[in-house]
């Protein structure tokens, strides 16, 4: 094939449509995010996370009976096998939570029957278990690394409230529960993002639900994906005060350094999730009487919109929200993983329902016609 006939490679699969989905649509030019036909603005602050789980997994918002049944199903699925709890206790205390979660989710597969002959219904059951258990794994590792006991989950609490109960050792206030619940909703799904794609690639080989979610967690862990929210708060801590923002941003722009939480691969306008998190950040900052983090964030936003026409993404304000709630920085990305498990598992089930092995081509750009030379002649 001549050079003129060679296909071009799309770096980062930019613009490549990899699947058809009914789960979510990211409309980058319009700044819209759709879950199963609902604009995110119709769900955030109105629905609960469990309602969104039902929407993603069963195709519609639940009625009261269906919602109660799903809540009971999730609560009953939270308990971890004893061997998994022992594994959590044995992990190094200084391991990053995302490494721990990835490892433990993989280990869960060892406590399930072989997956090769599973029906779609069996995989759907495992999906619900993972949605319920990833928050418990996260909380248990956080407690275990501090040498604290690992309490039983409270079946009377919803997903957000139970996670906070395990982490904090007490039932959360209604305001704190609603804040995390909305964060779960905003992070639940987001089209064919990197971690969702890795989950679908893995399940397409019929490797199983646990393999797919382990792949997704490993992908989300990266600083160019879910790890960006931790980078935002570290950036703000490095800046130190609003008076130093202009100098910091100018230096980043001059030296082509990335400003965490600004810009998005798909959205060319404001990320539709950001205003919800911005409002929560303002509310929390006002209640706490500590506006430094928000003030710095807002000044960064002003400069970047004015000078680069780049807008905050979902990570930008979520960092201030989590920090204001007293959540440890290295649990920011795990909270993302907790929420996105509902979307990942829904995509896995959708892939399985009409599966074909995902096998793209690559464009070879290496030498040709090389001849082997014995090692002592090289």
pLDDT tens-digit series, residues 211-221: 999 999 999 99
Identify the helix (H) or strand (E) that includes residue 35: strand 32-35
Same domain, 209 and 252: no
Question: How many domains are there within the chain?
Answer: 2
Structural domain includes residue 311: yes
What CATH number does residue 312 fall under?
1.10.230.10
β-strand partners of 27: 32
Q: How far apart are CA 111 and CA 80, in angstroms?
A: 10
pTM: 0.92
- Tell me: the pLDDT tens digits for 109-122? 999 877 655 789 99
Same domain, 302 and 349: no
Concerning whether 315 is annotated as a catalytic residue, the answer is yes
Structural domain includes residue 30: no
Same domain, 78 and 182: yes
pLDDT at 4: 52
Same domain, 214 and 247: no
Burial 358-373 (b: 16+ CB within 10 A, else e): eeeeeeeeeeeeeeee
- Tell me: the pLDDT tens digits for 54-63? 999 999 999 9
Structural domain includes residue 49: no
Structural domain includes residue 26: no
Same domain, 262 and 154: no
Structural domain includes residue 61: no
Same domain, 95 and 208: yes
Q: How far apart are CA 233 and CA 230, in angstroms?
A: 6
Same domain, 216 and 232: no
Q: Which residue has the tokens 């930008």?
A: 316
Same domain, 257 and 207: no
Whether pLDDT at 1 is above 50: no
Same domain, 196 and 236: no
The torsion angle over the Cα atoms of residues 276, 280, 286 and 292, rounded to 10 degrees, is -80
Do 224 and 145 touch, CB atoms closer than 8 A? no
Residue 153 in tokens: 């989950």
Q: Which residue has the higher pLDDT, 266 or 173?
A: 173
The mean pLDDT of 196-203, rounded to a whole number, is 97
pLDDT at 115: 62
Structural domain includes residue 31: no
pLDDT at 163: 98
What CATH number does residue 82 fall under?
1.10.580.10
Structural domain includes residue 66: no
The mean pLDDT of 17-45, rounded to a whole number, is 95
Structural domain includes residue 53: no
Q: Which of 264, 271, 276, 347 is catalytic?
A: 264
Concerning whether 142 is annotated as a catalytic residue, the answer is no
Q: Which of 25, 154, 168, 225 is catalytic?
A: 225
Q: How far apart are CA 90 and CA 353, in angstroms?
A: 38
pLDDT at 176: 94
- Tell me: the pLDDT tens digits for 271-312? 999 999 999 999 998 888 889 999 999 999 999 999 999 999
pLDDT at 7: 72
Identify the helix (H) or strand (E) that includes residue 175: helix 174-187
The mean pLDDT of 348-371, rounded to a whole number, is 94
Structural domain including 182 reads 74-221+338-353
- Tell me: the pLDDT tens digits for 305-325? 999 999 998 888 998 999 999
Same domain, 161 and 302: no
Same domain, 214 and 348: yes
Q: Which residue has the tokens 């007293």?
A: 326
Q: Which of 54, 187, 315, 347 is catalytic?
A: 315
Same domain, 123 and 197: yes
């Amino acid at each position: 094939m001549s050079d003129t006939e060679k296909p071009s490679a799309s770096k980062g699969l930019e613009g490549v449509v990899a699947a058809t989905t009914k789960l979510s649509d990211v409309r980058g030019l319009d700044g819209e995010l759709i879950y199963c036909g609902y604009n995110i603005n119709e769900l955030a602050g109105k629905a609960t996370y469990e309602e969104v789980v039902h929407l993603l997994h069963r195709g519609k918002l639940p009625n009261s009976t269906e919602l109660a049944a799903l809540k009971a199903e999730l609560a009953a699925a939270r308990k971890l096998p004893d061997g998994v709890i022992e594994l959590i206790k044995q992990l190094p205390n200084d391991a990053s939570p995302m490494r721990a979660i990835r490892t433990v989710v993989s280990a869960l597969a060892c406590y399930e029957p072989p997956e090769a002959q599973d029906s779609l219904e069996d995989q759907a059951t495992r999906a619900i278990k993972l949605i319920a258990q990833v928050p418990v794994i996260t909380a248990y590792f956080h407690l275990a690394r501090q040498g604290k006991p690992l309490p039983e989950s409270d079946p009377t609490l919803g997903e957000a409230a139970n996670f906070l109960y395990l982490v904090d050792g007490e039932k959360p206030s209604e305001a704190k529960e609603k804040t995390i619940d909305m964060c779960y909703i905003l992070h639940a799904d987001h089209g064919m993002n990197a971690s969702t794609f890795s989950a679908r690639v893995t399940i397409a080989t019929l490797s199983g639900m646990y393999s797919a979610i382990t792949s997704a967690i490993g992908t989300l862990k990266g600083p160019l994906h879910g790890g960006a929210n931790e980078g935002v708060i570290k950036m703000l801590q490095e800046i130190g005060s609003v008076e130093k923002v202009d100098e910091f941003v100018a230096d980043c722009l001059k030296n082509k350094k990335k400003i965490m939480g600004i810009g998005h691969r798909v959205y060319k306008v404001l990320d539709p999730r950001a205003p919800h998190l911005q409002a929560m950040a303002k509310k929390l900052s006002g209640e706490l009487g500590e506006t430094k983090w928000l003030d710095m964030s807002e000044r960064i936003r002003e400069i970047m919109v004015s000078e680069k026409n780049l807008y905050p993404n979902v990570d930008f304000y979520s960092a201030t929200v989590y920090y204001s709630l007293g959540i440890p920085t290295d649990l920011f990305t795990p909270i993302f993983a907790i929420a996105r498990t509902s979307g990942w598992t829904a995509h896995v089930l959708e892939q399985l329902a009409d599966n074909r092995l995902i096998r793209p081509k690559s464009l070879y750009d290496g030498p040709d016609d090389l001849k082997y030379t014995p090692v002592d002649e090289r």
